[in-house]
Amino acid sequence: MRVFNFSAGPAVLPESVLRRAANEMQDWHGSGMSVMEMSHRGKEFISIFEKTEADFRQLLNISSDYSVLFLQGGALAMNALIPMNLLGDKTTADYVNTGEWSKKSIQEAKKYCTVNVVASSEDQGFTYVPAQADWKLNRNAAYVHICTNETIGGVEYQWVPDKSDVPLVADMSSHILSREIDVSSYDVIYGGAQKNIGPAGLTFCIVRKDLLGRALDITPTVFNWKEQTEHNSMVNTPPTYSIYIAGLVFEWLIEQGGLVQIEKMNIAKANLLYEYFDSTQFYHSPVHKADRSRMNVPFWLQDEALNEKFLSGAQQRGLLQLKGHRSVGGMRASIYNAMPIEGVRTLVDYLKEFERSHG
């Protein structure tokens, strides 16, 4: 029996993708091989890789001015690769701190350069995005880094920062492909795949080509974006099966009508939850309304003594992974692209039922 999986990642995948992957597990398109068994240099996998990149570019309208990389390591590793690849001869970088993942990015970057925290929402428990007018930018910084959706805190940029001469870098791990974006408004976009793209183990990086070649001398070859661009993400063996699944997800997204249609569905799902939370005092959603995430919805019961009973009842109804991140507590519903609206409706019905029983 399939459940409604609200995990923040690894996360729910489209059922049709899972069925297709199962059907192709032992024999991909008559090759007699599983994708997991293929040489990454063979014509079979190269065809998978090329279509995956082409579909990714189509979905996001990525121009030829940008390199697209599919790498290993996850977004946490990319936190180190950002300064390694962008510092060049500079020694400082600007970071906006909007939550736990911003903090991790800052901590990692401090190993390679001086970090200027140009704005922070810590004063209100990371429940909002600081207005750009309040950012104290350094014109000599190598880049400006933002996390456009904080998976743990449920804070999302609903606006795009104005560009300057300093490259703008965005961690989009948990909302990439959930909405339309103008890639040209950013210089680097990166993230882990295990939210809206595919299995854990795959990392994507979209980088403006004129920023390649700035890597520090200490940067390992496999983490050097210029080297990986020149070798089509294959300096080392890439995460082949994760790339294959990502390709199936990209095909599924195109079949849904692309990001225009998927964004409409994501807005509808998020509205179902937030409208209910705004109508009751039994639950509490702390994020400022203007900055609420469509993908990750944290919430608290007013009486936290009921937490375990709430989670137990949810599990009995097939509503899984609703416990909040250990660093903040509470509850969290992650409603990525592959979460059907029926799952959100079922969750809202349970929220109402639990309130009637315990309110």
Q: What is the CATH number of the domain that holds 330?
A: 3.90.1150.10
- What are 238's two structure tokens? 């890439």
- What are 328's two structure tokens? 């903040």
Q: Please tell me the predicted confidence (pLDDT) of residue 76.
A: 86
Using CB atoms within 10 A of its CB, is residue 23 exposed (0-12), middle (13-18) or buried (19+)?
A: exposed
Return the active site residues. Answer: 101, 171, 195
Q: What is the reported pTM?
A: 0.97
- Do 209 and 294 reside in the same domain of the chain? no
- Do 107 and 248 reside in the same domain of the chain? yes
Q: Please tell me the predicted confidence (pLDDT) of residue 74.
A: 83
- Do 212 and 302 reside in the same domain of the chain? no
- Do 242 and 277 reside in the same domain of the chain? no
Question: Is residue 279 a part of any domain in this protein?
Answer: yes
Alpha-carbon distance of 154 to 48, in angstroms, equals 34
Sheet holding 331-334, edge to edge: 283-284, 296-301, 331-334
- Do 280 and 239 reside in the same domain of the chain? no
- Do 34 and 111 reside in the same domain of the chain? yes
- Cβ–Cβ < 8 Å for 339, 13: no
- What are 101's two structure tokens? 């993942």
Q: Cα 269–310–323 angle (5° rounding)?
A: 65
Among 145, 149, 125, 150, residue whose Cα is nearest residue 135:
145
Q: What is the number of other CB atoms lying within 10 angstroms of the CB of residue 71?
A: 22
pLDDT along the chain (359 residues), means of 10: 92 97 95 95 95 98 98 89 97 97 96 97 96 95 98 96 94 97 98 95 96 96 96 95 98 98 98 97 96 98 96 97 89 98 98 94
Cα 10 vs. chain centroid, distance in angstroms? 11
- Do 93 and 126 reside in the same domain of the chain? yes
Question: Is residue 7 a part of any domain in this protein?
Answer: no
Domain C-terminal end among 255, 289, 320: 255
Q: Name residue 333's beta-bridge partners.
A: 297
Alpha-carbon distance of 336 to 295, in angstroms, equals 5
Domain count, the chain: 2
Torsions phi, psi of 271, nearest 5?
A: -60, -35
Q: Please tell me the predicted confidence (pLDDT) of residue 328.
A: 85
What's the domain range around 197? 15-255
Among 331, 344, 270, 334, residue whose Cα is nearest residue 301:
331
- 3-state percent breakdown (helix, strand, coil) of the chain, nearest 5: 40, 15, 45
Question: Is residue 29 a part of any domain in this protein?
Answer: yes
Quickly tell me which residue has 């024999």 as its tokens.
27
Q: Read off the CATH number of the domain in which 151 is found.
A: 3.40.640.10
Alpha-carbon distance of 42 to 54, in angstroms, equals 18
208 Cβ contact list (under 8 Å, min separation 6):
65, 66, 67, 167, 187, 188
Q: How far is CA 197 from CA 23, 28, 192, 292, in A?
A: 20, 20, 8, 21
Question: Is residue 321 a part of any domain in this protein?
Answer: yes
From its phi and psi, is residue 171 left (phi > 0), alpha (psi between -120 and 50) or beta?
Answer: beta
- Do 119 and 79 reside in the same domain of the chain? yes
